[in-house]
Structure 1
Amino acid sequence: MHEIISRSYKFWNYVPSLPAAVIFMLIFMILTGLHSWKLFTMRTWFCISFTLGGLFEILGYIGRCVSHGNTTGMGPYILANIFILLGPTLFAASIYMTLGRLIRRIGGEHLSVIRVSRLTKTFVWGDVLSFIVQGNSSSLSVLGYTTWAKVAVIAGLAIQLISFSIFWLTAIIFEKRINRSPTPESLLPGMPWKKSLNMLYAVSALIIIRSVFRIIEYVLGNDGYPLSHEWTLYIFDSAPMAIVMVIFFIWYPSDIKPTKDLEGSMPLATSYSEV
């Protein structure tokens, strides 16, 4: 009996809750559907990575659903962990691009602490690096290099945390400067730049909280409280990321039209820059 129980918990310290996984799978399906509708009706192609992040979340919770009845299966475990881990990285790419387009939209390039032609590239390439580092953790885990897999996840999350912290500081400095020296475009009636900035602050804060939780989770390891108690994932990761999708949808950056100058566009998404 002891041997059977040990084998049952080869990959999990608990049996993943099927109701919780199904609920969040459905939540992310609905939200991803809504974002897909916005993406195609508003033609905001720079938000495509955000929508893909929702798809990643769906795949992750499908993995948790399957793992409920198969706690010894490596495939469902990897599916659940890697896609839930990487979803917010794709959210981040669109969030970074939104700030660059916002600054251009209100003619505030001269007020940005980082040159706008480099701003989006800087943050998004940091995001790409975070994505690659975290993504490689699954292959390292499969090959048996669990320690290195853990290091890769922590390093990737740390990159994401640093990037968002700098991003947040950049946005705050820009807001202070634009308030002191408003541009003619920023004073136009109906220009939603303050609303968009507040939206960026909110979603960034939630992703930062989630990244801190994930770092703590992996530092403490399999014997730590977070990886031994499923509720922590849903409170500090699942729910915040669902709220991120809700906030981004309600205050969707559809009014931020890209200009002809595409230098600040993400190199991997230049083809999405035309509206």
Structure 2
Amino acid sequence: MAKLEPYKGDYYLWQYVPSLGAAVFFILLFLGATITHFIKLTRSRARFCIPFAIGGIFEVVGYAARGWAHNNTGSIMPYSMQSVFILLGPVLFAASVYMTLGRIIRNTGAEHHALIPIRWLTKTFVMGDVVSFMVQGGAAGLMVSGSSANLGRSIVIVGLLIQVIMFGFFVVTSLVFQIRMQRHPTPGAWDGRVDWRTHLHLLYGVSFLIMVRSIFRVAEYVLGNDGYPLTHEWTLYVFDGSLMWLSMLFWIIWHPGKLSRPDMDLEMTGLRQPGGNM
């Protein structure tokens, strides 16, 4: 029977025995969503959706590690794996969200409506996302060592706050673009193939879910090991796992793959193609 075991001396990695049933359930949810994302990715060849699909892999690995930890609460490996992968999966979701806005603006020919010059728009948000990824990823390693755990949590909070701030700025940028487009629509705004309003609503919805999840994780780390979130497992599944699975589901239903165009395939790297706008 699974029981709570110390990692070293009287230091416990977990405040409860992780639920095996909940972990398996979410593994199946994220596995199904991730497979569907890769199928859609293959069909649409929308490279800006690659980070979202990879984020799904991170979620699957993270919850698999939680299942592994059920009978290994004193082992550092499953604890560190679930901590890192579940923490970083949404950062990859965010990268696709940011790049999708750039595709919407380019496909509608509305670069002049962008709050940030289009050549910097995607780079600005993705670089913020990379910084958040690196900060959280580096700090996650510190959290699993007893002596540096508090420092690691503090750095993770900084990384999460960077993500929340960037999302807030992103939503403002998207709203400004939408207002300007509604007041002065471009010819591309009437192209039914783009359906820019639906794609913007998708970005708002997914951004909201990731922001709520990030705010929850900030509260989780601020309250510490004795706080309610880290002593009650259900909070992670409700305010992180469920919200991120819904993000993947929304992306599947309103998949922005139609925004993919050959002259924009290298947007992530900022390279220019012949006849393109990069």
Q: TM-score range by the shorter chain?
A: over 0.9
Q: CA deviation at 1:35?
A: 0.2
1:190-209 equivalence runs, <5 A: 190-209=193-212
- Note the alpha carbon deviations across 1:224-252, whole angstroms, 9 max, x for none: 00000000001100000000000011111
| Contact 1:192 1:255 (8 Å CA) reproduced | no
Check the 8 A contact 1:46/1:269 in 2, yes or no.
no
Partner of 1:113: 115
Partners in 2 of 1:100 and 1:11 — Cα distance? 42
Q: 1:47 aligns with which of 49, 67, 71?
A: 49
The answer to whether the 8 A contact 1:59-1:80 is kept is yes
Q: Secondary structure at the match of 2:77?
A: helix
5 Å-filtered alignment, 1:244-263, equals 244-258=247-261, 260=263
**Paired residues of 2:167 and 2:211 also in contact (CA < 8 A):** yes
SS at match of 2:263: coil
Q: TM-score, normalised by structure 1?
A: 0.92
What is the CA distance between 1:201 and its match in structure 2? 0.3
Match of 2:220 among 217, 220, 226: 217
Please name the residue that 2:6 is paired with: 7
Aligned 8 A contact 1:105 1:259 in 2:
no
1:173 aligns with 2:141: no
Distance 1:61 1:240 in 2: 14
Q: Out of 131, 148, 170, which is 2:151 matched to?
A: 148
* CA distance, structure 1, for counterparts of residue 271 and residue 163 of structure 2: 19
> Match for residue 61 of structure 2?
59
Calculate the TM-score normalised by the size of structure 2. 0.91
The one-letter code sitting in structure 2 at the alignment partner of 1:257 is S
Alignment match of 2:73 (pick from 71, 74, 77): 71
Is the Cα contact below 8 Å between 2:55 and 2:92 reproduced in 1?
yes
Mapped to 2, the partners of 1:221 and 1:176 lie a distance apart of 41
Give the CA deviation at 1:189: 3.3
5+ residue gaps, structure 1: none
What is the root-mean-square deviation of aligned Cα atoms in Å?
2.1
- 1:81-96 alignment to 2 at 5 Å? 81-96=83-98
- Give the Cα–Cα distance (whole angstroms) in 2 for the partners of residues 202 and 257 of structure 1: 21
* Alignment partners' CA distance in 2, 1:76 and 1:5: 14
- Return the offset for 1:57: 0.2
Q: 3-state SS of the aligned residue for 1:7?
A: coil
The size of the alignment, in residue pairs, is 268
Distance 2:4 2:261 in 1: 56
Q: Alignment partner for residue 102 of structure 1, among 101, 104, 111?
A: 104
Q: Percent identity, aligned pairs only?
A: 47
Please tell me the residue identity of whatever aligns with 1:192.
Answer: D
TM-fit CA distance, 1:257: 2.6
